[in-house]
Amino acid sequence: MFVRNDNVRAGSSLPVADFIYDRKWIMRSTLFLAVAVVWIMLLIVFLLPFDPIVTIVMGAALVVFFIVVGMSPFWTEHSIEENEIVLRQGWHFSVRIPLENVKAINFIEDAPKDRSLFISQTRGMLNITASKRDLISLRLRRPQRIASVFWRKADEIVFDVADREGFRQAFEKALIATHASPVRAFLY
């Protein structure tokens, strides 16, 4: 689903466009992670000699881990800003792609095998997918290093949005507003 955010950033004439990605797969993963966290806490309490400080510290660490990895994907979305595309998956992953570095953008139907966050070293392809549908592929003019995946380079990024057509329209509007280099048209 396309979410229009009419907030205009300082020094910008273009409103920010936010795009929600499919959260069904993330919901299942978060439920599994919650069960795993509860089991680990039970193991700590019942198998280790009881030390309240160790139990509290380990419990707090597990809760922080659960919030960052399990819950934060529900609070983030992808966005198109004035001169860049920002892709996020939770608080633990974010990448900013300048519009002038986008060579081609395509709608794709063939889903990558891996969902979630994965980078293929041999192909230079980064997957930021929570679904196997509504996928978009960005091919970059030059490989970009991505800090969230240990500074590895990617020259193609695959991600999903709930509203591909809304993303296409916002992307074209951003290209026009920033006078960026032409990008190869969307392929359907």
State the Cα–Cα distance between residues 170 and 15, nearest whole angstrom.
10
Measured N-to-C along each axis, helices 52-65 and 24-47 cross at an angle, to the nearest 10 degrees, of 170
Backbone dihedral region for residue 164 (phi beyond 0: left; psi -120 to 50: alpha; all else: beta): alpha
pLDDT, tens digit, for every residue of 47-79?
Answer: 888 788 888 998 899 999 998 888 888 888 899
Question: Which among 1, 10, 5, 17 is positioned nearest to 171, based on CA atoms?
Answer: 17
Q: Between 152 and 186, where is the model more confident?
A: 152
Burial (0-12, 13-18, 19+ Cβ within 10 Å), 60: exposed
Q: What percent of the chain has pLDDT over 90?
A: 23
- How many alpha carbons lie under 13 Å from residue 78 in its C-beta half-sphere? 31
- Cβ atoms of 94 and 88 within 8 Å: the answer is yes
pLDDT of 98 reads 93
